[in-house]
Amino acid sequence: MSILPNIVLAADNNSFTQQALPYAYNALEPFIDATTMEIHYSKHAAAYAKNLAEACVAEKVNTATISLETLMQNIGKYSSKMRNNGGGHFNHEFFWKCMKPGTSSMPTGKILLAINQSFGSVEAFKTQFSDAAKNRFGSGWAWLVQTSDGKLICGSTANQDNPLMDISDLKGKPLLALDVWEHAYYLKYQNKRPDYINNWFNLVDWSFVEKQLI
């Protein structure tokens, strides 16, 4: 097994293509194992990027003139292939950036203030976020989002939907995401999704989360 990721499907900074993983496959151990990361990135996420490219060609989406975020905001106009793979690609590219190697510190600065204002405390936020992740039936994602009125809320989406989508019940600007599809954790945690969620908090890159604030 290769430790370093080597999948880059197209030019860097093109949001419609899979970007290089910002750390080695084993960098998130012991919380996420290297084998899971390699399969997750090079198989699952790569397939979403490939299928999104096919959908864009078939449905005449000019990726040079529209952003991936704008596509998400208008996804209801497109096919289920575009929705599933566009969402899968956006969600995974965002998810990788939400994590960093090492042990995460507590949020500070503006993001800490926003969390305290919206939830009362970091622990209350973690409880709500964890509940959203644990209670998502089947496959999906847990999110921390900022709503149009500036408030932070937690919620979840099914399958590869996300809060940017016009068809999503949960709407807002994504700040933090957690993949709760079984392929994200099953090799290490088996059916113990709560253990995966609890351990995952050790990887959160709070500086990235803060940068997403409006």
Split at pLDDT 50, 70, 90, the class of 12 is low
- pLDDT of residue 5 exceeding 80, the answer is no
Q: Please state the domain extents for the chain.
A: 32-214
- Residue 13: its pLDDT value, please? 65
State the average pLDDT over residues 157-174.
Answer: 98
The answer to which of 11-25, 66-80, 105-119 has the lowest mean pLDDT is 11-25
The answer to which of 4-13, 33-42, 68-77 has the lowest mean pLDDT is 4-13
- Residue 128: its pLDDT value, please? 98
Q: Residues 21-63: pLDDT tens digits?
A: 999 999 999 999 999 999 999 999 999 999 999 999 999 999 9
Query: What is the pLDDT of the chain when averaged over all its residues?
Result: 94
- Terminal CA-to-CA distance of the chain, rounded, Å? 40
- Residue 70: its pLDDT value, please? 97
- pLDDT of residue 11 exceeding 90, the answer is no
Q: Residues 82-111: pLDDT tens digits?
A: 999 999 999 999 999 999 999 888 999 999
- Residue 14: its pLDDT value, please? 86
Q: 32-214 domain in CATH 3.55.40.20?
A: yes
- pLDDT of residue 68 exceeding 70, the answer is yes
State the pTM of this model: 0.94
State the average pLDDT over residues 166-194.
Answer: 98
Sort residue 7 into left (φ over 0), alpha (ψ -120 to 50) or beta. beta
- pLDDT of residue 116 exceeding 70, the answer is yes
